[in-house]
Amino acid sequence: MSLYTFFILSALILVARASEPVAGGPTECVVKGVDGVYGYDPTSDHGPDAWGDIPDHHYETCKTGDIQSPIDFPTEVKYGRLADGPKPDIVAANMTWSAGNSNWALSCADDEGCGVTMFAGKAFKLVNTHFHSPSEHTLAGRQYPLEAHMVHQADDGSYAVIATMFDYPQDRDYRSTIYTRAHVDFNKSPLVKSILNSMKEGREKFPVYLGSVIDANKGYCVYVGSLTTPPCTEGVTFLMSMNVQPVTRRQVYAYKITAGVGIDGNNRPTQPLHKREITCYVK
């Protein structure tokens, strides 16, 4: 089978999967998840612009809130010292895989906890990790192929989310990519690779090496927003890493297949910034 045939077949499988008849109704690409019914098709009455109007689910904040996420990170920001920024202490932890709504997620399954991020004098414990493709946030107008969300919660119930962007590596020198096999593995994300491998083996609980994403710390840009999925609860501190990770097209594609992401992606569109300030804790 040629590579071309492979991609056509894979694309058909992706489309077929996205349009499987599911609980949302006969014509909608809506998957029923643990948190109710919502989807990403902008033309559907369960699409992002209509989340707040879905009956019986109390997602009103998605519509009436004024500090919603995601946002386009503006070029005008305030600066803080790197030393005052978020301090993640996360290496690896056993997490449990579960399928959700147009996505899957990994929940902390370790009695010892899965790591802590200190910020603004509070200890936020890592509770969940998931991805969105394409990215939900944009950085100065630029969207990325993949965004990770590491959801943390403090003892007072408040949320902080470390977000990390993934991007395709720069195209390499033509001669080296055509004559070596090294490029096949060049700049794969080790995190995405290990998660997808564990899923492929059918494991439900496995170690997740988040340290590979968190370690190299170039600082964070921080603002207060909301959960990016219903019920769109506000007061969530977003910690956007300034350390973009490499990922391959094949990895992003594999993620989308496993998560049941259709042609609309599983990213909520960016929401108005209103008067919010962004503070960047960088060198």
Ligand X SMILES: *[C@@H]1O[C@H](CO)[C@@H](O)[C@H](O)[C@H]1NC(C)=O
Nearer to ligand X, 115 or 265 (CB): 115
Residue 93 or 222: which CB sits closer to ligand X? Answer: 93
Which CB sits closer to ligand X, 92 or 154?
92
Q: What six digits make up the tokens of 199?
A: 């899923």
CB of 106 to ligand X, least distance (A): 12
Q: Between residues 45 and 110, which has the closer beta carbon with respect to ligand X?
A: 110
> What is the pattern of x (binds ligand X, CB under 6 A) and - over residues 33-72?
----------------------------------------
What is the separation of C-alpha 181 from the centre of its chain, rounded to a whole number of angstroms? Answer: 30
Q: Which is nearer to ligand X, 110 or 234 (CB)?
A: 110
Selected from 22, 82, 92, 273, the binder of ligand X by CB under 6 A is 92
Number of residues that bind ligand X (CB under 6 A): 5
Judged by CB under 6 A, the residue of 35, 49, 94, 98 near ligand X is 94
Residue 45 in tokens: 């009455």
Under the criterion CB under 6 A, does residue 211 sit at the interface with ligand X?
no
Neighbours of 145 (CB within 10 A): 20
**By CB under 6 A, residue 207 contacts ligand X:** yes
Whose Cβ is closer to ligand X: residue 150's or residue 222's? 150
Span 103-132, contacts to ligand X by CB under 6 A: 110
Per CB under 6 A, 99 contacts ligand X? no
8 Å CB contact between 282 and 218: yes
Tokens 């470390």, located at residue:
162
Please, which residue, 92 or 199, has the CB nearer to ligand X? 92
CB of 194 to ligand X, least distance (A): 11
Segment near ligand X (CB under 6 A), from 4-12, 90-98, 144-152, 180-188? Answer: 90-98
Sign of the dihedral defined by the CA atoms of residues 213, 219, 221, 222, in that order:
positive
Map residue 97 onto helix, strand or coil: strand
Cβ 263 vs Cβ 15: under 8 Å: yes
The answer to whether residues 44 and 28 touch, using CB atoms and an 8 Å cutoff, is: yes
Minimum distance of ligand X from residue 105's CB (angstroms): 18
The alpha helices in the chain, defined as continuous H runs, are 3-18, 61-64, 174-179, 190-200, 211-214, 249-259
Q: How many beta carbons lie within 10 A of that of residue 125, not counting itself?
A: 17
Which H/E stretch holds residue 148?
A: strand 146-153
Closest approach of Cβ 126 to ligand X, in Å?
13
Q: Locate 198 and state its tokens.
A: 């564990």
Choose, by CB under 6 A, the member of 18, 50, 67, 93 that binds ligand X: 93
- The verdict on whether omega for the bond into residue 70 sits within 30 degrees of 0, i.e. cis, is yes
CA atoms within 13 A on the CB side of 232: 27
Stretch that binds ligand X, among 76-84, 88-96, 120-128, 241-249 (CB under 6 A): 88-96
Contact footprint for ligand X (CB under 6 A): 92-94, 110, 207
